Amino acid sequence: MSALLELDDVARHFPVRDALGRARGAVRAVDGVSLAVPQGTVLAIVGESGCGKSTLGRLALRLIEPDRGAVRFMGEDLRALSARALRARRRDMQLIFQDPFASLDPRMTVEDAIAEPLKLHDVVPRGAKRARVAQLLERVGLRPEAARRWPHEFSGGQRQRIAIARALASGPKLIIGDEPVSALDVSVQAQVVNLLQDLIRDLGLTFVLISHDLGVVRHIADRVAVMYLGTIVEEGPAELVFGAPRHPYTRALLAAVPGHGARAAPIEGDPPSPIAPPAGCRFHTRCPFAEAVCREQVPVLQGQARRSEVAAGGSHGSAGQEHLAACHLQDRLPPAAPLQERKAGGDRLRRLQAHFGAPAPQPETTGVNA
């Protein structure tokens, strides 16, 4: 499996200045991250606010410049590209933002908004533009008549569909979604999550999902990277990161998701400041298992101890199945509490729910906000 997108020890620090403009340290937003996203897979980057996940997404598209490290897209270092070559490359990499109210220009009709990337990258001849816009609208479950209308005429969910159509217009290979469904209400969020899954499958997209919503991540992602204070603390296949988390922070995140029985908060306190992250393991100040070594040495992101790999016939190391954690104690932690499946509604609820949701994306039938 060749990686479509590869990050190699990427870092970005933002200087912090005092009232007189003098440098006073730096926010280490992304501090040495390496990742590979194979073609046709979905990687989710999860973490709490300020962990650096959005900065990482922008670095991956070279929308901001890294201080160090390499970003390779289809094997090509984006940092080595000229401005012109980079612009041409952008046809293959697109971004979907969180807020569909802010990301669409209110003075452009839906058709203009979706056609802009078509013009920019000369994707279709001028005469075919309108047909292509109609096709894109249909693809995201909107009627072609929507083309002549303005963004303010649409609800949040419909606007996010328009933003998705715009991102698809140039026929990209990679899409990065920065909290693409976080601003939406539950029922509308489910529609857009289903749409994204259909698009990823049908168009063979490579997708990087930046999200704090672990339910959405579990539903869409093949692999998951968990970030804490600018570094990746755990990375692996979604079912293993959720089912057998190897980093105490991942466990705390999962235990904090409501809906699995009220109990004591899994960890106390707030994340420390990224201006002065703790020495050693950055999580040691909140970690219930921390030992002396955690305060002194920075843990390396690595797989299970070699012996267990041998015991399992050495098959665990294969690409795509690697499960890595940056924790000194990862082989000594007590087993993670299993997730309790919510079965309250049982079979009856499942049968009732089967009546909901269309098998394929369908036009929304009601209520364009007049």
Partner 1 sequence: MTPPVLEVLGLSVEFATDRGPLRAVDGVSFSVAAGQTLAVVGESGCGKSVTALAIMGLLPRGVRLGGAIRLLGEELLGQPGDPWAGRRGRDLAMVFQEPMTSLNPAFTAGEQVAEALRLHEGLSPRAAMDRAVEMLARVRIPEAARRAAQYPHQLSGGMRQRVMIAMALACRPRLLICDEPTTALDVTVQAQILSLLDELKRETGTAVVLITHDLGVVADHADQVAVMYAGRIAEAAPAAAIFARPEHPYTVGLLGAVPSIEGGAGRLASIEGTVPDLRAPPPGCRFAPRCPFAGPDCEAQPPLADIGPGHVAACWRAPLDQVLAA
List interacting residues with partner 1 (CB under 8 A): 48-49, 155, 157-158, 185-191, 193-194, 197, 212-216, 218-219, 238-239, 242, 252-268, 270-271, 339-342, 344-346, 348-349, 351-358, 362, 364-367, 369-370
- Cβ closer to partner 1: 158 or 170? 158
CA atoms within 13 A of residue 111's CA, in its CB half-sphere:
13
Neighbours of 131 (CB within 10 A): 11
DSSP 186-253: HHHHHHHHHHHHHHHHHHT-EEEEEES-HHHHHHH-SEEEEEETTEEEEEEEHHHHHHS--SHHHHHH
Return the number of the residue (23 or 186) whose C-beta is nearest partner 1: 186
Maximum separation of any 2 CA atoms in the chain, in Å: 68
The Cα–Cα gap between 180 and 98 comes to 5
By beta-carbon proximity to partner 1, the closer residue of 139 and 173 is 139
Q: How far is the CB of 341 from partner 1 (least distance, A)?
A: 5
Amino acid of residue 330: Q
Collapsed DSSP state (helix, strand, coil) of residue 134: helix
What's the one-letter identity of residue 66? P
Residue 116 CB, nearest approach to partner 1 (Å): 26
Cα–Cα dist 333/336, whole Å: 8
Q: Which of 57, 248 has the CB closer to partner 1? A: 248
Of the candidates 169, 145, 176, 146, the residue with the CA atom closest to the CA atom of residue 158: 146
- Least CB distance from residue 25 to partner 1, whole Å? 18
Starting at the earlier edge strand, list the strands of the sheet with 23-38: 23-38, 3-17, 68-73, 76-77
Q: How far is the CB of 184 from partner 1 (least distance, A)?
A: 9
Q: Which is nearer to partner 1, 263 or 307 (CB)?
A: 263
Closest contact distance (angstroms) between CB of 327 and partner 1 is 17
CB of 5 or CB of 195, closer to partner 1: 195
User: Which is nearer to partner 1, 76 or 185 (by Cβ)?
Assistant: 185
How many whole angstroms separate alpha carbon 109 and alpha carbon 150? 5
Least Å distance, CB 46 to partner 1, is 10
Q: What's the min distance (Å) between Cβ of 153 and partner 1?
A: 12
